[in-house]
Structure 1
């Protein structure tokens, strides 16, 4: 019943709009600060996360620290680029309501990555609100550009001439 409310109600769409705007602002300002701050480098953060994987009260699980050491740290430049521009793009997409569920999914992946790395901050709250957006699906972008863009894509890429391969 609650899922139906999230997916169909205009009241829920308005509440989701407020969530989207808040989350978009958080992502956009965080990413924009990195882009314009002059040389964002995630390598220190990544090394700190690996260091938090040891000790009696380890905040980072070993499997994640292994991933960071083997993949992320050797490619810290790429990961720095992906984080700063990912935050900007997720923020803009959520504010504009364009490809809302995809943007929310990418934001959730970043939130999980930060949580796995031992950073709490606002990540749990952002992740919780993002789950509501993901469950709501199309209704989360009802008051945004999705209202105009998604029907275009559905019409453009939906086959109406029968099964695939049939002429």
Structure 2
């Protein structure tokens, strides 16, 4: 069943937001690399790849439904500032924005009677719960560490051990 114009436009907007998230994570990786925290930078680069994968899932859904998604303008990401906490706060803010957008898309699909989109959107809602939880945990640990260099380096090592495709 082809998506109606309203849903097709909304899915294209979500695709754009996922790509924007990917670019934002790359900017955060640059900031962390500049702070000499290669593990955290690697974590952000992997996160960037996940966001591209999310965009690809949405693209596949839209094209499978007989529509042609249109990627919109991607604004340049903001520099998170000089602190590691600021970088992860920016990450959490971005994840919350994506979560809100997916929930709105779910509500729109319900309102439009498009039950075919609901399994995909349900998967993304669960994914976003996990994403926000993970970043919140990292932020909590950063707040506990404060300015403790060895603690920060230990967390950097832990985050650097992340393998693509795992959380």
Higher Cα Rg: structure 1 or 2? 1
The TM-score with structure 2 as length reference comes to 0.32
